[in-house]
Amino acid sequence: MSEKHLSHPSVRHVAACLQAAAHPHGVIALDDTARSAAEAAAALGVETGAIVKTLMFMAGRPEAPVIALVAGDRQCDVAALAACAGSTTPCRRPDAAAVKAATGYAIGGVSPIGLPEGLRIFMDSSLMRFPVVWAAAGHPHCVFQAAPAALATLASATLTDEISITG
């Protein structure tokens, strides 16, 4: 596995958040990209569902960012996510610049931890079927592992069974 990406500022931020939380696992760098759930699963040798997709949408009026942590083998139900966020209007996908501005991370490496305070974060309860899940760590080549319950705590996420659909 490649170590060259571990010095990236976003990766160092995720590593510092894990360390501050006394999380037992650190960031690992992959030789192959983990931009998609399928790529990450192949690189790690795990089921696609054990990969956490950290997705940002804009919801409400006025629009505000909302984060969905969804299993890699599922799709985000944007209508349900909007309802969870208290919006009667549909969620929409922002562009890459808006994601970076709201989360501090570039698309392909958005981590569920180390996000700015105040972001609403909802976690797909289907992730609980796995003993360990893997999430992006600030760079398309970097990930970290966690038990799903630990991830929910690390991310300050609200667990829900409403935001994902089988994809």
Q: At residue 80, what is the residue type?
A: A
More confident position, 14 or 7: 14
What is the C-alpha to C-alpha distance for residues 74 and 3, in angstroms, rounded to an integer?
30
Tell me 142's DSSP state: E
What does the pLDDT read at residue 149? 97
| pLDDT tens column, 90-103 | 899 999 999 999 99
What is the C-alpha to C-alpha distance for residues 5 and 128, in angstroms, rounded to an integer?
29
3-class SS shares of the chain: helix, strand, coil, % to 5: 35, 25, 40
Instruction: Return phi, psi of residue 67, to 5°.
Output: -110, 135
pTM: 0.94
Tell me 4's DSSP state: G
| pLDDT tens column, 100-150 | 999 999 998 999 999 999 999 999 999 999 999 999 999 999 999 999 999
Percent of the chain whose pLDDT exceeds 90: 80
What is the C-alpha to C-alpha distance for residues 167 and 148, in angstroms, rounded to an integer?
20
